[in-house]
Amino acid sequence: MASRSRALGSLQHNTSSTTNVNLSSTSLITPQLTALADPPPTMVDQHLFEYMMQEVIRTIITSESVARERRIAYERQVEHDLKLARATSSVTLNTSNGNGKTSAAMAPSVPSKSSTFPPPNQDEADEAVRSRLDKMGFKVGWAMAEKLARDRPRFPSTPATTSTTTNPVGASVLSLAPIPDPLEAVKFICKDLWIELYDKQIDNLRTNHRGVYVLHDNGLKPLLRLSGNPGPGQAHELNRRVKFFLAFPNGIIRGALSNLGVPCAVSAESAGIPQCTFQIKTVRPGT
C-alpha cells in the first residue's frame, strides 16, 4: 500500500513538472520581447558616429580658419622684415662733400605690416577642409579593411603585368606578384565595409570592366540629417555641407582599397539629398 502511494506521488510530481514545461514553452514571451526587455549591450550608440562627424567637420573648419590666419600673419611678418632689411641696406655714408662732414642718405619709408594680401578664398579654404577629412577617412578605411579582411579568404588575384622595358630592374619579381581582383575588392567595399559603417549595403554597383566603378547609395546616413529643400540663398551653403560629408567616406573607400592592394582615385558627388555617387578609377600596375 505504501509503495502504491509513493508511486502515485511520483507520478503526480512528474505530471506537474511536465505541465510547467509545457507552460514555459508556450509562453507569450517571444524572443523579440526578450530582446526588448534585455537588449544586447552596445558600446557605442548607433547615432554617435553621425553626431561626431558633424562636430569633426565644424572643428576642422575652425581649425583651418585659424591656421590660415596664422599663415597670413607669418607671411606678412616675413615680407615686412625683408622690406625693412632692404631699406636699411640702402643707407649710404658720404664723406666727400669737402667740409669734412659725414652725410647719410635717407632710407625709404618702410611699409607697415598691414600689406595688401588677397582676401581669403572660400573655395580654397573649403578644399583644405575636404582634404583633411579625406586624409582622416583614408586612415579609417585602411584600418577597417585590415580588421574586416583579416579572417576572410584571400581575394581572387590576377598576375600583375609589368613591362620589362619601363622597369627592367626587378621586373621579373613584380610580374609574378599577384594583385587582388579589383572587382572583388570593390564588392567587399559595397558589402562588408559599408555594412560596418552604415548598417546597409551599397544600393547599386556599375562598372565598365576597364577599371572604373560607380557606387550608388540612395540613402547615405550622414546626408539624411540635411534638409533637401534649402531656402532662398541657402543652396550654396547646402552644397558645401554635402561636399564636407562626402569627403570622409570618399577617403574611407580610397584607404580600404589601398590596403587591399588596389590603388585608385575616388571622387564623390550628390545629385540630390540623400543620394550620392562614388566613382572609383583604379590604377593598373606598371602604368
pLDDT value for 177? 54
Whether the pTM exceeds 0.75: the reply is no
Check residue 32 and give its pLDDT: 67
pLDDT for the residue numbered 174: 43
In this prediction, residue 260 carries a pLDDT of 92
How high is the pLDDT of residue 222? 87
Closest CA relative to residue 284, chosen from 213, 214, 138, 179: 179
Binning the chain into helix, strand and coil, the percentages to the nearest 5 are: 55, 15, 35
Please report the domains of the chain, with CATH numbers, ordered by start residue: 137-152+172-282 (3.30.1380.20)
| The predicted structure's pLDDT at residue 277 | 96
Q: Which helix (H) or strand (E) holds 94?
A: strand 93-94
Instruction: Walk along the chain (287 residues) in steps of 10 and give the mean pLDDT of each run.
Output: 49 45 54 68 68 90 90 90 81 52 49 53 88 96 92 72 47 56 94 91 93 94 80 82 94 96 94 92 74
Peptide bond into 274 cis (omega under 30): yes
Q: What pLDDT was estimated at residue 135? A: 96
pLDDT at 164: 45
Please tell me the predicted confidence (pLDDT) of residue 39: 66
Whose cell is 606598371? That residue is 286
Residues in the chain: 287
What pLDDT does 22 receive? 42
C-alpha to C-alpha distance for 228 and 275, rounded to whole angstroms: 10
